Amino acid sequence: MEKEKNSDTFCPIPWIFEAVKANGDIRVCCHADEHKGKGVVYDSQGRAYNAGRNELSESRNADKMRRIRRNMLNGVWSDECGRCKKEEENGLVSRRSWETATWDFTIEKAREATQVDGTIDINETPVVYWDLRFGNFCNLRCRMCGPHDSSAWYDDWAKLGKEFNANPEDFEWANNEHFWTQLEENIPNMEWVYLAGGEPLLIERHYDFLDKCIASNYAKQITLEYNTNLTFLPERVIEAWKHFKKVKVGASIDGYGEVFEYIRYPAKWTKVYNNLMILDKLPPNIRSQLAFTVTAENVHHMPDFMKWKLSESGFERVNSPTIRTTRPILSYHMAHKPKYLNVRVLPEKYKLNVTKKFEQFVNWTKENHQPENIIKQATEIAYGVCNYMNNESYYDDSWNEFKDFSSKLDKIRGHVKKGIL
């Protein structure tokens, strides 16, 4: 069937999705976090809908959600969708692209389900796709992160002289029992659940959720997707996963060896690599992939990391064709914010060197007789990252901020870069 006109801005998320931030606030999706309003959905009084105090269904027809639906159906980009728009303009594969390819909820179905003002019947169009983050409890202080997503960041954040405009108690919202009652009521409709944090494998409430899905006998229809730092891989989670339809473990790996330990402080590479090897041998319903966050501090290392993955890692199934992607090299996303860690902050001379490294990596895949699909994907990754990096410069207004942040954090943590920018 020919694609309907004005569908190039359509995404199924505003119809079938519910996203809960680490502090319990409801948002459009995690990529909308790049928008100045962080994608948070507000009520008529200007108060954020929050899973710890509101009915989960209340936000679905909020003004923001209805406006975004209307815009999508009319071929208009909403401000909240700016990250996907920017990525698609620069040759990157956006989340919108992935979701439209994954779900059979088409623009035609959206039109049928949506009133003129953007309202939907929430019973006729239930939430089947969830993004759940049961707090910010985490054991790492990743350099591109902060206290809103990792409780371990509190002390370093203060030492950097930065303001944390939240109360740590805000991240305890998942202790609200009414939320759990609502979530349990929604389990029969669930098809896909994305779990992040904090670090989900360390958050006890995450295990409560898995137990509820298993006890209700609906686990067999649910696909779980994780974003985890993989510093822990307890046996009980492996046993729980065996009950689910599919499990996709996205391991946040931004390099190997000392680069990994520098970015994902204070994780130890050997421990995480060993956990990856365990994942590599789990039952076939459990798949894993490397999720690489591209920043100004590790973009130069990305070609080396991909070469390592292809030639030295020893993986048989990690990043093999998975549930939602057929990228055997790695999955990646650009760190758009904080702005001083965006790859566009780099000096032009450095960008040229990085671009050359990506070109050399693509040539390496050809010279080492990699399969055609690997060469194709290497070319696409190189083009996407370099095109985005070189398309615009943040050097003038953010380079000094980058150097200040990096040097201060190095001093706080006792780091020596050893060749890392």
C-alpha closest to that of 156 among 37, 266, 25, 50:
266
Residue 137's pLDDT is 97
Averaged over 215-225, what is the pLDDT?
A: 97
Helix (H) or strand (E) holding 223: strand 223-228
As a whole number of angstroms, the distance between CA 155 and CA 147 comes to: 9
Averaged over 395-409, what is the pLDDT?
A: 93
C-alpha closest to that of 164 among 176, 152, 181:
152
The answer to whether 275 and 235 have CB atoms below 8 angstroms apart is no
As a whole number of angstroms, the distance between CA 136 and CA 141 comes to: 12
As a whole number of angstroms, the distance between CA 338 and CA 75 comes to: 29
Dig out the tokens for 56 from the structure: 């989960």
**How many CB atoms lie under 10 A from the CB of residue 233?**
19
Residue 325 has pLDDT above 50, yes or no: no
Whether the ω angle into residue 303 lies within 30 degrees of 0, i.e. cis, is no
Burial letters 179-202, b for 16+ CB under 10 A, else e: beeebeeebeebbbbbbbbbbbbb
Round the average pLDDT of the chain to a whole number and report it. 93
Q: What is the CA radius of gyration of the chain?
A: 21
Residue type, 158: A
Residue 418's pLDDT is 58
Averaged over 157-179, what is the pLDDT?
A: 94
| DSSP tag of 263 | H
Residue 4 has pLDDT above 70, yes or no: no
| Confidence band for 323, pLDDT divided at 50, 70 and 90 | very low
Helix (H) or strand (E) holding 290: strand 286-294
pLDDT in tens, 339-389: 999 999 999 999 999 999 999 999 999 999 899 999 999 999 999 999 999
Bigger pLDDT: 3 or 68?
A: 68
Share of the chain above pLDDT 90, in %: 86
Bigger pLDDT: 124 or 421?
A: 124
Query: What DSSP letter does each residue of 20-49 carry, written as one string?
Result: E-TTSBEES-GGGGGSTTTTB-B-TTSPBP
Beta-bridge partner residues of 252: 291
Q: How crowded is the C-beta side of 279, counted as CA atoms within 13 Å?
A: 29
As a whole number of angstroms, the distance between CA 421 and CA 411 comes to: 15
Residue 396's pLDDT is 87
pLDDT in tens, 196-219: 989 999 999 999 999 999 999 999
Phi/psi zone of residue 294: left (φ > 0), alpha (ψ -120 to 50 degrees), beta? Answer: beta
Beta-bridge partner residues of 66: none
Residue 157 has pLDDT above 70, yes or no: yes
Residue type, 321: P
pLDDT in tens, 290-313: 999 999 999 999 999 999 999 999
- The values of phi and psi at residue 357, to 5°, are -65, -40
Residue 320's pLDDT is 73
CATH fold of 129-413 reads TIM Barrel (3.20.20)
C-alpha closest to that of 32 among 46, 53, 47, 11:
11
Residue 36's pLDDT is 75
Residue 285's pLDDT is 92
**How many CB atoms lie under 10 A from the CB of residue 23?**
23
Averaged over 244-270, what is the pLDDT?
A: 96
Residue 65 has pLDDT above 70, yes or no: yes
The mean-pLDDT minimum among 31-40, 88-97, 163-172 falls in 31-40
Residue 381's pLDDT is 95
Averaged over 260-268, what is the pLDDT?
A: 97
Residue 5's pLDDT is 44
Domain ranges of the chain: 13-113, 129-413
Residue 257 has pLDDT above 60, yes or no: yes
Residue 2 has pLDDT above 60, yes or no: no
pLDDT in tens, 352-365: 999 999 999 999 99
As a whole number of angstroms, the distance between CA 278 and CA 238 comes to: 10
As a whole number of angstroms, the distance between CA 7 and CA 343 comes to: 30
Query: What DSSP letter does each residue of 348-380 carry, written as one string?
Result: HHHHHHHHHHHHHHHHHHHHTT--HHHHHHHHH
Residue 107's pLDDT is 96
Helix (H) or strand (E) holding 387: helix 372-391
> What predicted TM-score, i.e. pTM, was given to this entire model?
0.91
Residue type, 292: F
Residue 419's pLDDT is 56
